[in-house]
Structure 1
């Protein structure tokens, strides 16, 4: 595949959850409401400032793929259902190949 084959726009939303149970709950909520076609869960270790101290924690990262029309709904749903007081919600536009783009937008 040529680089020009990867010019189809989709969005990637990233958040973390405290554990697999909360991550799966959030992922299933987004999937059942058909806001997303796919989410990848990965165990990670985070280092961060919280309440004046440097902390280290094991978390689960969610990499959520969605179409442009659902980005705001996905971010709002994460904010409403997240277990953290201040959840990480980051999103950006990415390029995908034509077939993957079609699949993301078919959900």
Structure 2
């Protein structure tokens, strides 16, 4: 990896929603409030424990990109608006190429 790819940190926030409609609603709000520059959706199948039983369901995973300064705001907004009682909210830092890093941080 060349030096130009190091230390250009952005954050990925993962959450799931029950369907595309709820995923789009959440994504649109985060975008309109300029908390994020980009979000992608992926159809997934989840298997999980809930209320003493193993369940499975189709869900939509949101892969949200944001700058470090907005991670807490993004996570709080997801918790506030999410359709689930206990939403998955996972976040972690990642390295990005310099141009993508600048774009993410420009929003």
Counterpart of 2:15? 15
Q: Determine the structure 2 residue equivalent to 1:31.
A: 31
User: Aligned equivalents of 2:13 and 2:2: distance in 1?
Assistant: 23
Which residue matches 1:6? 5
Over residues 34-87 of structure 1, what are the superposed CA-to-partner deviations in whole Å (9 max), with x where a residue is unaligned?
Answer: 000000011000000000100010000000000000000000000000000000
The change in CA–CA distance for 1:50 and 1:101 in structure 2 (over 3 A counts) is same
Aligned residues: 106
User: What's the RMSD between the two structures over aligned residues?
Assistant: 0.8
Matches within 5 A, 1:44-83: 44-83=44-83
The offset of 1:3, in angstroms, is: 4.4
Structure 2 residue runs of 5 or longer lacking an equivalent are none
**In structure 2, distance between residues paired with 1:46 and 1:5:** 37
Aligned-partner Cα distance in 1 for 2:79–2:10: 21
TM-score of the two chains, using structure 2 as the length reference: 0.96
Match of 1:91 in 2: 91
Question: Residue 71 of structure 1 aligns to a residue in which SS?
Answer: helix
Using the size of structure 1 for normalisation, the TM-score is: 0.96
Give the gaps of 5 or more residues in structure 1. none
